[in-house]
Chain A
Amino acid sequence: MFTVIAVAPVVLVTLLIGLRGVAAMRTTSDFLVASRGVSPLLNSAAVSGEYLSAASFLGVAGLMVKDGVGALWYPVGFAAGYLVMLVLVAAPMRRSGAVTVPDFVEARLASPALRRLAAIVVLMICALYLVPQFRTAGLVLMAISDTPYWVGVVIAGASVSATLALGGMRAATYVQAFQFVLKLVLFIVPALWLVLQTSAATQDEALRPVGFTEFATDTPVSFENDVVLRIPTATTVQTDDGQQRVLPAGTVQVAEDETLHFPQGAQVPRVQGLPELGGSDWSGPLLNLRDAGYPMLGTIAVLLATVLGTMGLPHVLMRFHTSSDGRAARRTAAFTVVLLGLFYLFPAIYGALGRVLVPELYLSGMTDSVVVALPARVDPSWVGTMFTALLTAGAFAAFLATSLGLLLALSGAISHDLVPGGLRQLRITVVLAAVVVVLLAFAARQLDAGILVTWGFTVAAATFCPLLVLGIWWSRLTATGAIWGVLVGLGVTSTGILITLFGPAVAGWLGILAAQPAPLAVPLAFLTMVLVSLRGRPPSWAMTAMLRLHLDERHDARPGRSLPGRSRTDRSTWLTRRWSTARRKGRRLVR
């Protein structure tokens, strides 16, 4: 009941702000980029609000319980991505005058084939990222209020698509900015409350991790996913219907929806592919991915995927187009580094306390619910319930905000780049896309959401990152080179992930490269683009096309302060040229 009271306002406010955005919507430019009138501070709040998905709100603390302290490298990479964006992409991207990434690609390389390829990559990244969001919505509501899985998914899909179809980017901007503030408060306040509320002994335990080897009390563990356990010695457990079951020493496959009651003093099994909870691998500062024993490679792989992947996420790039000019876009990126840095100081608190207070989640594989499960464990009274409700509301805000941006980028790719059409078609596309994603989310309940998000990030890092970096900073890039680079990046990444999902188990460093293909895919994509481009010849206008991206708009912004030595006639021809460009771009957008 508490949860409904907490989640309902978030959904309602989202819808209300969406309705407010309807008034001033006439063109696709209004719909896709809020007609470029968003100030840097508002925009960076919206970028952060959009970016702090369920993966950040719930996932980071969960990963910390699962993979160890080294999982805190994920948020470091997430925040660092915006610094790279600030340096390399933000201003030139905005100055291209494009509305979506495929638009930008066409403006720079003038290749319709590449534009379509880029649009397909946008579709793929958005789908890979959107499905886990909806899935988490379903799972969180299911865990809290006993509603079936599909209800949460449908609620999420309906509220997101309604807001977007009505209000477009303008509504999304205000919703996301509002939800960033909401998330920040709803994350930090419970964290501080938890620190104050836990006893000194618990805190000391949290800070001095010891291996989780023996159950301290009788512990029921309900498995929500299939998990492979390694049992050290034969253990007798009780199933839900009161029967005794002996788990033999060795590996045991536990099926979904099973509940096992481990007696006090029983030895804790290890989970296949994870380090021992609280062991020395767990508390080490590097990320021992898949328990493979290559912490350095694991850490670097995750950093590469998150830093460079952030740069290529289409919904984030789209947000930069809503800035009024290149300078505002750059400021947006800088503010975002600060805002995200503030937020990411706190997941560690949930992770460290979660290891001590809810260790059974490590076994059941439901580590994503650590954040929501903690308050009730600390304080079983109504106060704990209230904080659980607040955190659930925050989590819901998290996937609403992220889904808004992703669905917008997805619809933009379909209805602006692949099958160009007007405003009405965009609105219909939003709803249709949401329906398809909801259906996909039904099917994806069993999949590990983390793998899908990694896939999305790595595809972004291996396709759009080289495309943007080389497109903006290297005039010799050719359309052929770009196409081959994108294909190689896409191919290598997807091969690795598909092997991890469905192929034979790969051990050691090869297994890490398959699960986190960024260290392989990104250099290969860069190399392909450079080598193929060097074999071809860039068109004569390539240098101009690149330099345009670096020309600042200050003449427009401050007409009184024209450059010294620029004569009057000079200025008028320059203005005419600028205006004709604007008109031509306008023709392509309006309608």
Chain B
Amino acid sequence: MAGAKRVTVMSPSTRLAHARRRVRGRWRVPRLDPADAERALALYRAQRARGVAALVLLAALLFGLPVLLSGWATLEQWRLVGIPMSWLALLVPYPVMMLLAAWQLRRAERIEDS
């Protein structure tokens, strides 16, 4: 037994496929079925419209909040249970982003269900 070469058991076609060099380099992008192409185009446009809306909201949150905080210095004086409001403002994005994610997920899936 010792020294005997171990051989993988496989079908002849698998062996052939394994022996062949893998296809690399240029390959043509497969064509889309006309009906699929139509559906893909509709999905693409719908997702793009919804996506831009979600991104605008996110950008408003992420870049609006620093502007708001820098312009509103008195916020540092206000406190909620002893914590400065301006510090709490840095935790606000998380719940908002969770809601935004849930909302966007539902809208994106609804488009594909239709």
Contacts and interface: CB of A to CB of B under 8 A. Distances in A.
A204 B28 CA distance: 67
Interface residues of A, number: 68
Interface in B52-110: 54-55, 58, 62-63, 66-67, 69-70, 75-76, 79, 82-84, 86-87, 89-91, 93-95, 97-98, 100-102, 104-105, 108-109
A341 B48 contact: no
A547 B37 contact: yes
* Majority DSSP secondary structure for residues of B touching A: helix
Interface in A518-572: 541, 544-548, 550-552, 554, 563, 566, 570
A338 B32 contact: no
A577 B66 CA distance: 51
Interface in A105-142: 107, 110, 112
A473 B48 contact: yes
A207 B84 contact: yes
Nearest to B69: A285
Give the interface centre of A334, A338, A587 by most chain B CB atoms within 10 Å: A334
B9 interface: no
A554 B112 contact: yes
Contacts of A182: none
Interface in B35-53: 35-37, 39-41, 43-44, 47-48, 51
B22 A544 contact: no
Contact of B69 (A286, A300, A327, A420): A286
Contact of A330 (B26, B43, B97, B109): B109
A590 B32 CA distance: 25
A334 B40 contact: no
A321 B98 CA distance: 23
A230 interface: no
Contacts of A88: 51, 55
A271 interface: no
A544 B38 CA distance: 11
A591 B83 CA distance: 59
Nearest to B102: A334
A86 B40 contact: no
Interface in A570-591: 570, 573-574, 577, 580-581, 584, 587-588, 590-591
A77 B59 CA distance: 11
Interface stretch (A68-76, A427-435, A457-465): A68-76
Contacts of A496: none
B29 A588 contact: no
Nearest to A341: B94
Interface of B: 17-18, 22-33, 35-37, 39-41, 43-44, 47-48, 51, 54-55, 58, 62-63, 66-67, 69-70, 75-76, 79, 82-84, 86-87, 89-91, 93-95, 97-98, 100-102, 104-105, 108-109, 112-113
12 contacts: A69-B87, A84-B58, A107-B29, A112-B25, A203-B82, A330-B109, A334-B102, A337-B98, A337-B101, A563-B35, A573-B33, A584-B23
Given A348-B90, A591-B22, 5 more contacts: A84-B55, A87-B51, A307-B62, A341-B95, A545-B29
